Amino acid sequence: MDNIKSCTFPKLSDEFNELFNDSELKLIICGVIGKSNLPNCNKMKCFDLFNCHSVFLGENEEERVENRIKFYYEKGGKIIYVHFETSFDIYIACDLIKKSESNFFLPTHSELRTSFARMLLFATQICHILILVEPSGDFDASYLSIFKTLKIIREKYLLKFLPKLLKNTSIWNAIAKEFRLCSPRVLFYFEKLSRPVEDITAYEIEKEDQIYQMLRANFIITNNANLSLFSIPKNKKFLFINNDEKINSDPVIDSLDFLLQHINSNDKDENEIYPMRPYRGYAINYFQDEKTKDYEEKQRTFVKLLNEHVDEALNSGFDDSIAKYKNKNHFVRPSCKTWYEIFKFMHKVLIENATDENFEAKDQDYKIYLDNFFKILDIDQQLFSESSNHGYDLATLNYSELLPHHYSKNYHESKLNSALEIFYKYARGPEREILEQKLKENCDSIWTNGRQQCEINSLRGNPCILISKHATNEGSSHSSGVILISVCNCGKTQGRREDPYTIRKANYEFYQMLATSCSVCEKSTKIDFPVSLGKSKATSEIPNKNLMSLIMSEIANKTPNEEKTSDNQLHLSASQKTQESESDLSLRSNESSEDENKNENEADMNEIVVEIGKIDIKEEHEASTTEYLPGMILSASLPGIFPQFPSWSLVCIGSSSIYSHNTGLTESQQPGFLSSTNYLLPWDVRVRLEHAKTWAENYEKNRSRKKLKQLTTQNSSGTFFTLKIFVGMEYECGRGHRFMMDTNQTVLRGSKSCASKIVFSNMPIYFPCPCRQNSVAQLLRVHLVTPKAPVNITLDPKVKIRRETEMIFVTGWNEPVKLSQSAYWILRLPYVYQGGDDDPVPVPFDVPNNSEALRYGFLMEGMFGIKEDESGVMNQ
């Protein structure tokens, strides 16, 4: 070790100052570069120059520095070793990766490659021999791209600016021809075998052939060595694979072996070293046998291979060109002083200035070299960038292909996802996220700039299919493109309707339009609903013209209520007080008539008592002349304030005789009913009439007494009479299918059921249609055939919708409306429900076929009531 001197550039030791000032001594410059897996990044162990393990050479691992250059020289030797610590040394690479601020490995890897490439290019300019050290047993093919790129950089950039920079220097004459010492000869040193082999020499030759073919195929070496980045000897060995385990051995184990060898040396008295042995005779034979071997002669060494090339360089120089370029090689062996001047100049130009961010080159060619070195060398990032940009172009093209004039957000997102899938196939590297965001913004821009669909939802939840800018055009209305089939108020005429966007069109205008083409609607009797009439008194408070006289007569003849009903008394909600004023109806079942009616079906009959009740008169809210409800009337709405149009409809389409229970509702009368669902259900109600005498006398004139006896009975409390009322709860889906319900959970299948199950139950507003499309049907009509008797059937429909808060939609009548006798009445419910300033109630897309359907809303039970006609005269 005393004969080997070393120092670190630029701090030279006295020995190296003396060496580099020698203008006579000419030596061979051997560069050592590549990879090291040692913490101190030393790659000199292959030269066997030191008496200690290479792990103990140099500074500690905390002082390892990227791009540090160390000189080694054996006094009296022929070689100056130039050791390069680069970013490819494993521990330095790990340090740089830890310090990197990038979230991606690729930019860091590019910086590592660039730093190594600068040092390698510098080494090819100042060395005669270049040793590439590899810790493994295989050639790293990633070197090829670096070699190839550096060859291009040297030809296109380096040879342009170096002559101009060297022209006025003292080293011009030394390297004026090729601007380097020579085309350096590269030797490959592999520190260990990748796999066991029988013939190491044959294996080395095989590896040499592989490396030579790769270098030739990539034009890194050519016939003219002067134009190559470096040269390879054609007929000489240039690769060495170490198979000596001691070179790669653990220094701790080596120290123990050295201690044992010292213990067994012959020049020591055995008595002195005996206590150091674990037991008598330990390790004597082993070391005595080893001392008899000539270890140096039997071992292959890299130094022998190196000396062969050094001798050739000293004698004739390197001539690795072939064919017509042979004997035309450039080889310079300057003095140590001149070489050190060349070294400092090249280091300044290729390393220092390139890593100095504040340096500005005056020469244009030199400036181009500095600016483009990273761009040219960074082929990985360039490849990924080009691949990502190619993916971006394909993705943009995919999104733009076959675009409709305008389209929805879902279609836009579908196209965008398809474009992103294509982009992800090509996108790699740090630009992926940037281009991904750019792609999204570009696709969004294409969509929003003239192709965006309006997509404002209709009242039934369907988006508008028109272009978004149509909303800015005056008079333009929305359209979802959904065409629904619906029938008019009376159910006679079917028509096609557009998906409504306003509650006025949904609940009023469509039915008004359809009524103009319906012969039944034009002729039918209508009962008005309360609406706001602008500046005039804003209500139709008494919807029926005859009701005022009826109410006044009831006030004049008001009678107190009967005693409370028995436990089994049946109540109809119409007998309860409404918000403003109602008649009290006592509905009782008659227990005394049970024996007389044992043969009748008790489940299908309700025996009730009908009395003339009282009317409560309450003060109404005095509404402003311009005040109206924006939606529909709720039970919580202020009294006296009404909407501008009715959402309900109540019409009489004729006498009760137009309905036959044998045939049900025919297609000509009520089109669109599904098979076996076109029947009204009979509701037999047994009532006691307080004022039936006059009616009985009139009835006897037209009917035989025999018939009358079958219908009436007498007792001390009054006359009992059985009313037959026909009721139907009609549902309608958007395809025009209509059907009646048997119960609140089942669809009607025939005419044998009774109506009590639907009269005394909450009926769901929405129910699955039994058609094949599984669409949702809506309760839209209540059919009612009133009996031919001196009673009035009353209606007070209420619909409860459960949202964040419960809403109860009402008609706005002050009292239940009375229906005429022996007539066919149809109550049409709202098509869309909207209360006050709230959003419309959305139509569910999927409704369970059970009691869970009620949670979407229902028509409340008890909407029917029965009131005796006080005059006892039937209105026929």
Burial 37-68 (b: 16+ CB within 10 A, else e): ebebbbbbbbbebbeebbeebbeeeeebebbb
Q: Which amino acid is it at 786? A: T
Closest by Cα among 34, 95, 29 to 66: 95
pTM: 0.63
Does pLDDT of 209 surpass 80?
yes
Q: Percentages helix, strand, coil for the chain, rounded to the nearest 5?
A: 35, 20, 45
Residue 702's pLDDT is 53
With cut-offs at 50, 70 and 90, classify the pLDDT of residue 379.
Answer: confident
Q: Which amino acid is it at 140? A: D
Contact 520, 658 (CB under 8 A): no
- Residue 270: HSE in the Cβ half-sphere, 13 Å Cα cutoff: 7
Q: Rounded to the nearest 5°, which phi and psi values hold at 748?
A: -65, 135
With cut-offs at 50, 70 and 90, classify the pLDDT of residue 291.
Answer: very low
- Residue 619: HSE in the Cβ half-sphere, 13 Å Cα cutoff: 2
- The rounded distance, in Å, linking the Cα atoms of 666 and 147 is 93
Q: Rounded to the nearest 5°, which phi and psi values hold at 350?
A: -95, -25
What does the mean pLDDT of the chain come to? 80
With cut-offs at 50, 70 and 90, classify the pLDDT of residue 697.
Answer: low
Residue 471's pLDDT is 64
Q: State mean pLDDT over 78-97.
A: 92
CA distances from 574 to 409, 558, 754, 866 (A): 49, 18, 20, 8
Closest by Cα among 801, 786, 745, 854 to 650: 786
Sign of CA dihedral 159, 160, 165, 169: positive
With cut-offs at 50, 70 and 90, classify the pLDDT of residue 538.
Answer: very low
Task: Give strand pairing partners of 826.
Answer: 651, 783
Contact 594, 672 (CB under 8 A): no
Residue 566's pLDDT is 33
- The rounded distance, in Å, linking the Cα atoms of 301 and 32 is 16
Among left, alpha and beta (phi > 0; psi -120 to 50; other), residue 672 is left
Residue 369's pLDDT is 94
Burial 420-440 (b: 16+ CB within 10 A, else e): bebbeebbbbbbbeebbeebe
Q: State mean pLDDT over 452-463.
A: 88
- The rounded distance, in Å, linking the Cα atoms of 16 and 80 is 10
Does pLDDT of 619 surpass 90?
no
Does pLDDT of 706 surpass 50?
no
Q: Give the residue, 264 or 632, on which the prediction is more confident.
A: 632
- The rounded distance, in Å, linking the Cα atoms of 798 and 516 is 28
Does pLDDT of 103 surpass 60?
yes
- The CB density around residue 808, as the number of other CB atoms within 10 Å, is 15
The torsion of the CA quartet 777, 778, 781, 784, rounded to 10 degrees, works out to 70
Helix (H, G, I), strand (E, B) or coil at 644: coil
Q: Which long-range contacts (CB under 8 A, 24 or more apart) does 232-235 make?
A: 232/185, 232/186, 232/320, 233/185, 233/309, 233/318, 233/320, 234/320, 234/322
Q: How do beta strands 239-241 and 483-487 pair? A: unpaired
**Domains of the chain, each with CATH number or no CATH:** 4-244+300-353 (3.40.50), 255-298 (no CATH), 384-448 (no CATH), 468-523 (no CATH), 547-868 (no CATH)
- The rounded distance, in Å, linking the Cα atoms of 181 and 187 is 17
**Diameter of the chain by CA atoms?**
157
- The CB density around residue 507, as the number of other CB atoms within 10 Å, is 25
Q: Give the residue, 581 or 223, on which the prediction is more confident.
A: 223
Residue 144's pLDDT is 93
Work out the end-to-end distance of the chain between its first and last CA atoms, rounded to an integer number of angstroms.
Answer: 134
Among 590-599, 744-753, 784-793, the minimum mean pLDDT is found in 590-599
Q: State mean pLDDT over 462-475.
A: 76
- The rounded distance, in Å, linking the Cα atoms of 433 and 755 is 67
Angle at the Cα of 128 from the Cα atoms of 125 and 133, rounded to 5 degrees: 90
Which residues, other chains included, contact 114 with Cβ-Cβ below 8 Å and sequence gap of 6+?
Answer: 373, 374, 377, 378
CA distances from 209 to 183, 233, 234 (A): 20, 12, 10
Contact 231, 185 (CB under 8 A): yes
Does pLDDT of 59 surpass 60?
no
Residue 605's pLDDT is 44
Residue 470's pLDDT is 76
CA distances from 629 to 343, 802, 827, 835, 836 (A): 95, 20, 22, 9, 6
Contact 641, 621 (CB under 8 A): yes
Give the pair of three-digit tokens for residue 474.
């005056």
Model confidence pLDDT, tens digit, residues 11-43: 999 999 999 999 999 999 999 999 998 888 888
- Residue 211: HSE in the Cβ half-sphere, 13 Å Cα cutoff: 27
- The rounded distance, in Å, linking the Cα atoms of 469 and 466 is 8
Does pLDDT of 551 surpass 50?
no
Residue 771's pLDDT is 86
Does pLDDT of 477 surpass 90?
no
DSSP conformation letters of 116-130: HHHHHHHHHHH-SEE
Residue 562's pLDDT is 37
Contact 531, 644 (CB under 8 A): yes
Q: State mean pLDDT over 559-584.
A: 33
Contact 229, 122 (CB under 8 A): no
Does pLDDT of 57 surpass 50?
yes
With cut-offs at 50, 70 and 90, classify the pLDDT of residue 299.
Answer: low
Residue 168's pLDDT is 83
Sign of CA dihedral 236, 241, 246, 250: positive
Q: State mean pLDDT over 664-682.
A: 93
Instruction: Indicate the helix (H) or strand (E) that contains 8.
Output: strand 4-8
Task: Give strand pairing partners of 747.
Answer: 741
Tally DSSP H helices, then E strands, for the chain.
25, 26
Q: Rounded to the nearest 5°, which phi and psi values hold at 820?
A: -70, 160
Q: Which amino acid is it at 327? A: N
Sign of CA dihedral 694, 700, 706, 710: negative
Q: State mean pLDDT over 592-616.
A: 43
Residue 707's pLDDT is 47
Among 108-122, 153-167, 383-397, 541-555, the minimum mean pLDDT is found in 541-555
The burial of 26, by beta-carbon neighbours within 10 Å (0-12 exposed, 13-18 middle, 19 or more buried), is given as: middle
- The CB density around residue 698, as the number of other CB atoms within 10 Å, is 14
Residue 560's pLDDT is 34
Residue 488's pLDDT is 95
Model confidence pLDDT, tens digit, residues 249-286: 666 777 777 777 777 665 555 555 556 666 655 555 44
Residue 275's pLDDT is 64
Does pLDDT of 850 surpass 90?
no
- The rounded distance, in Å, linking the Cα atoms of 739 and 295 is 107
Contact 719, 689 (CB under 8 A): yes
- The rounded distance, in Å, linking the Cα atoms of 367 and 254 is 52
Residue 753's pLDDT is 87
Give the pair of three-digit tokens for residue 243.
């198979």
Instruction: Indicate the helix (H) or strand (E) that contains 757.
Output: helix 756-759
Q: Which long-range contacts (CB under 8 A, 24 or more apart) does 415-418 make?
A: 415/443, 416/440, 416/443
Out of 220-229, 527-536, 801-810, give the one with best mean pLDDT: 220-229
Q: State mean pLDDT over 427-448.
A: 93
Does pLDDT of 154 surpass 50?
yes
Among 69-73, 252-256, 554-558, the minimum mean pLDDT is found in 554-558
Residue 343's pLDDT is 95
Contact 427, 436 (CB under 8 A): yes
- The rounded distance, in Å, linking the Cα atoms of 393 and 400 is 11
- The rounded distance, in Å, linking the Cα atoms of 515 and 527 is 15
Q: State mean pLDDT over 387-412.
A: 94
Give the pair of three-digit tokens for residue 557.
């003849």
DSSP secondary structure code for residue 856 in this structure: G
Residue 446's pLDDT is 95
Contact 130, 187 (CB under 8 A): yes
Does pLDDT of 229 surpass 60?
yes
